[in-house]
Every structure is written in structure tokens, then in C-alpha cells.
Amino acid sequence: MAGANTNSLNDSVRANMALVRNHSIDRYLATLYLPQDARADIFALYGFDAEICNIANIVNEPMMGEIRLQWWRELIAGTRPGEAANHPIAMALLTAINRHNLPVEVFDNYLQARVFDLYNDAMPDLTTFEGYAGETTSVLFQLIANITGGNHMAGQTATAAGHAGVAWTIVKILKKLPVHRAQQRTFIPTEIMLQSGVSSEIYQAGEVNAAMTDLVNAMTNLANEHLKKFEQALAELPSNQKSAFLPMCLIGPYIEKLKSSAANTAAQPVDIAQWRKQIYLWRASRKGSFE
């Protein structure tokens, strides 16, 4: 019986690794540089995020997505006992939560924030955007820091995670701008769009013009501000907690790439060659600094 449980858990880890690799090669590669005894649980968190992010892509109606989110709420809250055994992503997540005593309430907040992904509503302002980034991305950084280094510097970790989550989310949405436009989804705050002279019509059309270039530049500047604040906060953390933020070593290069191709970002997805990513990750993992 113990052997069967071990095999199921191993299958669950492999399923998470494959899911994360397909959803975010950046996170996948970064996790391979982290301590081996922490990788399975980190892949579990990233796999959970990938699974939830994909809901908006596979449902035809927002209500069907909300039903799926509610299933996850109940599963994590413990009101669906036994159902995780048939779901490798859920099994790995619950194992990670139990092993590290992760706070269940942050997952409820995360799932509530992900409701936004199901609708084509505009992101109204920067405050709302930063809250969304905090509940969906900053929280993952903080949970992973708990896994790699414990919770003994919660305040400093929260500060680093807060800025990291906003910078990461900005870069993510700019990288996928053409995809989001095709889906008629808008994650960029309306106030920043209007300040840049971009109407919803211009945004959806994906026109290559000065206004769209200004918008991309405004967002990359905002990402860079949060990146610098993140680096300041990171310096106060012990090395085992710093490792949780390893994917952030790619944000600076992404910002530079986005700036250099700002005029075309609305029409063409932006990425960095994988061999370059591996170099950035290898260097950062060795020196513990992401500058």
C-alpha cells in the first residue's frame, strides 16, 4: 500500500513538472536550480497556478470557470475528501500544503482573484492591478520562500514578494499582449492606457503606433520600478529564502527586450532565447544576486 502511494505521488510530481514546463519554461528551468528536496513542492505550487490559469482558456462560459474555481476552494478547504487521489495536480498541492503548513486562506484569496481572468472586464486602475498581482503572483513567491527558508522573516519576505509579483505580472502580460488581445482580455490598467493615449479600439486592433509604444514603455518603466524595490528588499533576506526568487533574474533582461521592441509588442509575442535564460539562471543561482 505504501508503495502504491509513493508511485501515485511520483506520478503527481511528473505531471506537475510537465504542466509547468508547458505553461512557464522560465519557472520550470528556475526550479531545477533549487534544492532537490524542495522541488516537488515548488512544482506543486507552480502546477496549481498553471492549472488555474488554464481554466479561462478551456471554458466557454465564465460560470463554468467559477464552478471549477469553487471545486478547488472546497478541495483545499478539506470538504472534498478523497477527490485529490484522482487528480495529480491536486494531490501534489495538498501534499505541499500539509508538509509546510502553508496557510489555506491565501489560496482562497488567490482563487477569488482569478475570477477576473474569466471575464472580459477592463482592469480599472493601478491599485486594482497591483492587488491582482499580489494575490496571484506575489503570494506564490512568498509561499515558495516559506518552503525554501521557513517563515522567520515574514515581513521582509512579503515586501520582496510584493514587488516581485507586480514586476513579474507586468512582464507576463506584455509578453502575451497579442494573445490577450485576440482573446479580448485586458490586464493593463485603464488609467495607464488612457494616459498613453490608447483607447480600447486601438488596443484591440493592435495597431503599431506611437501610443501603443508609449503604453509598453509606461508599463516596462513601472515593472523596472518594482524590480529595483524588489532587489533592495531581497538584499535583506537569507540565501535560502533568496533562492525562491530565482525566476526574477529573468525580469531585467525581459524588460530590456520589451523596451527594444516596444513598437511591435502589441503584434508579436516577446521572448528570450532559452540558452540565454539558462545562463542568467545559472549565474544568479551561483552568486545569489539577480542584478
pLDDT at residue 42, as a whole number: 97
For residues 168 and 262, state if they share a domain: yes
Q: Judge residue 12's burial from the number of C-beta atoms within 10 Å of its C-beta, 0-12 exposed, 13-18 middle, 19 or more buried.
A: buried
> pLDDT higher for 266 or 253?
253
Q: Which of 242, 218, 240 is nearest to 232 (CA)?
A: 242
Number of domains in the chain: 2
Looking at the structure, do residues 82 and 158 belong to the same domain, yes or no? no
Does residue 26 form part of some domain? Answer: yes
Same domain for 143 and 282, yes or no, is yes
Q: What average pLDDT does range 182-202 have in this prediction? A: 89
Is residue 273 classed as helix, strand or coil in its secondary structure? coil
DSSP string covering 94-126: HHHHHHHT--HHHHHHHHHHGGGGGS------H
Position 108 in a domain: no
Question: Is the residue at 29 inside a domain?
Answer: yes
pLDDT at 4 over 60: no
Domain membership flag for residue 140: yes
89 close to 16: Cβ distance less than 8 angstroms: yes
Q: Which residue has the cell 515548488?
A: 42
Half-sphere exposure of 273 (CA within 13 A, CB side): 3
20 falls within a domain: yes
Percentage of the chain lying above the pLDDT 90 cut: 74
How confident is the model over 70-80, as pLDDT tens digits?
A: 999 999 999 98
pLDDT value of position 152: 64
Last residue of a domain, one of 70, 102, 134: 102
Mapped onto helix, strand or coil, the DSSP state of residue 249 is: helix
Range in 19-33, 186-200, 202-216, 270-284 the model is least confident about:
202-216
Grid look-up 509578453 returns 175
Number of neighbours of residue 201 by Cβ within 10 angstroms? 8
Question: pLDDT category, 82, cuts 50, 70, 90?
Answer: confident
What is the overall mean pLDDT for the chain?
Answer: 91
Whether residues 63 and 169 share a domain: the answer is no
Q: Per-residue pLDDT averaged across 259-276, rounded?
A: 89
| pLDDT for 204 | 79
**For residue 67, pLDDT beyond 70:** yes
Helix (H, G, I), strand (E, B), or coil: what is residue 24?
coil
CA distance 66 to 30: 31
More confident residue, 150 or 123: 123
Angle at CA 51, nearest 5°, toward 11 and 19?
45
Q: Is 81 helix (H, G, I), strand (E, B) or coil?
A: coil
Where a domain ends, among 51, 73, 102? 102
Q: Per-residue pLDDT for 268 more than 90?
A: no
The verdict on 247 and 151 lying in the same domain is yes
Same domain (yes/no): 14, 158: no
Lowest mean pLDDT of 58-62, 86-90, 141-145, 182-186, name the range. 182-186
Residue 182, CA distances (Å) to 1, 218, 224 in order: 49, 22, 27
How far apart (Å, rounded) are the C-alpha atoms in residues 55 and 69?
Answer: 8
Higher per-residue confidence, 34 vs 150: 34
Using pLDDT thresholds of 50, 70 and 90, give the confidence band for residue 36.
very high
Asked if the model's pLDDT at residue 208 lies above 80, the reply is: no
Q: What share of the chain is helix, strand, coil (3-state, %, to 5)?
A: 80, 0, 20
Kindly state whether residue 111 falls inside one of the protein's structural domains: no
pLDDT tens digits for 116-138?
999 989 999 999 999 999 999 99
Task: Decide which of 102, 135, 152 is a domain's last residue.
Answer: 102
In a domain, 114, yes or no: no
- 85 plus 146 within the same structural domain: no
Say yes or no: 50 and 163 in one domain: no
Q: Give yes or no for residue 207 having a pLDDT over 80.
A: no
**Residue 1, pLDDT score:** 40
Does residue 18 carry a pLDDT above 70? yes
Structural domain of residue 136, as residue ranges? Answer: 120-291
What does the longest C-alpha to C-alpha distance in the chain come to? 64
Q: Is 83 found in the same domain as 156?
A: no
200/247 same-domain check: yes
* Separation of alpha carbons 203 and 178, rounded Å: 10
Query: Which residue's entry shows cell 505531471?
Result: 15
Total number of residues shown for the chain:
291
Check which CATH number belongs to the domain holding 217 and give it: 1.10.600.10
Confirm whether 107 is domain-assigned. Answer: no
